[in-house]
Amino acid sequence: MGRVLFLLSWLLPQVWGNSEVLGRSFLFRCLQISSFANSSWWRTDGLAWLGELQTHRWSNASDKIDSVKPWAQGTFSSQQCDQLQYIFRGYRNSFTRDVQEFAKMLSLEYPIELQLSAGCEVYPGNVSEKFFHIAYQGDYILSFHGTAWEPAPQAPPRLDSVIKVLNQDQGTRETVQWLLSDICPQLVNGILETGKSELEKQVKPEAWLSRGLSPGPDHLLLVCHVSGFYPQPVWVMWMRGEQEQQGTQRGDFLPNADGTWYLQATLDVAAGEAAGLACRVKHSSLGGQDLVLFWDGSHTSVGLIILAVLTCLVSLFMFILALIWIRKRRSYEDIL
């Protein structure tokens, strides 16, 4: 749980940070997950995203970083890519060795779980910010600042010896700085050219309303479904006139298979107060023309939907019977 929370706490502010500048700043982040079950079993896997699009993956089983998107190598030549690949392969080997040595030095207990989040955010005007954070057993312990490694505020004191060793390795520090300050923004700027059409894609949401499971007697759960939109930032709110309903609960963003997003917003209301409520959706693809769906009380619960489906089936059955009857009569007429 801690691990998941750690990842989310890095991902969420960054996704939201993006939404404020509406695509004007671009965040490139790499996540590395390394698990050491004991001193002889380990694996390291990596993923990279530009904004909400996954660009690369690197499985432990492979010695090659895979592009998830055809444009993921940006404007780097294949020679530059080979050089980077070589650096990362060396990095993965020495990372494993270093962790095993530190585990011995500090008599750490296995299993050991390490998560790394590193990358850069590129702002307009060629300004960029870099970050590199490390978590141990789900807790943030260490990061790279400026030109050196620093402990996180709540890191245990025994980490100081590790940081001292890490900071003695000037070659690695220079490489990390070069990757984050030069290579990362160059990759992002390149991808902004090669992946332009996909990055600037806008897909309009569709929205519909339904009634959720009743939260209690004389209460209704109004559900507003918003689906098929891209990019992710979206605003969904239950409204009464111009008044935002603060009880609106947003679900999690769920991915659709075609790379677009789904989100639902629910509101628990007293049965008599549902009339006049509306769900309002704002999204960059709508060009300022918000979607507004009014609750008219006719939104059926699941039971009513089943009834409707049954009614349809019965009608269809009757229709087929009628067809058969007409054909039979025709064939009798032919005989006569």
Ligand X SMILES: *[C@@H]1O[C@H](CO)[C@@H](O)[C@H](O)[C@H]1NC(C)=O
Least distance from ligand X to the Cβ atom of residue 41, Å: 4
Least distance from ligand X to the Cβ atom of residue 315, Å: 58
Map the footprint of ligand X across residues 41-60, applying CB under 6 A. 41, 43, 60
Does residue number 78 form part of the binding site for ligand X (CB under 6 A)? no
Does residue number 38 form part of the binding site for ligand X (CB under 6 A)? yes
How is residue 288 written in tokens? Answer: 């300022």
Report the residue number, 40 or 79, with the smaller CB distance to ligand X.
40
Least distance from ligand X to the Cβ atom of residue 104, Å: 15
In terms of residues, how long is the chain?
Answer: 336
Report the residue number, 60 or 67, with the smaller CB distance to ligand X.
60
**3-state percent helix, strand, coil for the chain, nearest multiple of 5:** 40, 35, 30
- Beta partners for residue 206, in sequence order: 227
Residue 127's alpha-carbon distances to 49, 74, 130, 166, 181, in angstroms, are: 19, 18, 10, 28, 10
CA–CA distance, 202 with 199 (Å, rounded to integer): 9
CA–CA distance, 119 with 322 (Å, rounded to integer): 68
Phi and psi for 329 in degrees, rounded to 5?
-60, -40
CA–CA distance, 179 with 193 (Å, rounded to integer): 20
* Single residue of 51, 74, 185, 205 touching ligand X by CB under 6 A: 185
**Binding flags for ligand X, 87-126, as an x/- string (CB under 6 A):** ---------------------------------------x
Does residue number 74 form part of the binding site for ligand X (CB under 6 A)? no
CA–CA distance, 182 with 204 (Å, rounded to integer): 36
Report the residue number, 40 or 78, with the smaller CB distance to ligand X.
40
Least distance from ligand X to the Cβ atom of residue 66, Å: 15
- 46 close to 56: Cβ distance less than 8 angstroms: yes
Q: Which stretch binds ligand X (CB under 6 A): 101-109, 139-147, 181-189, 313-321?
A: 181-189
- 128 close to 29: Cβ distance less than 8 angstroms: no
Map the footprint of ligand X across residues 8-37, applying CB under 6 A. 37
Binding positions for ligand X, rule: CB under 6 A:
37-38, 40-41, 43, 60, 126, 182, 185-186
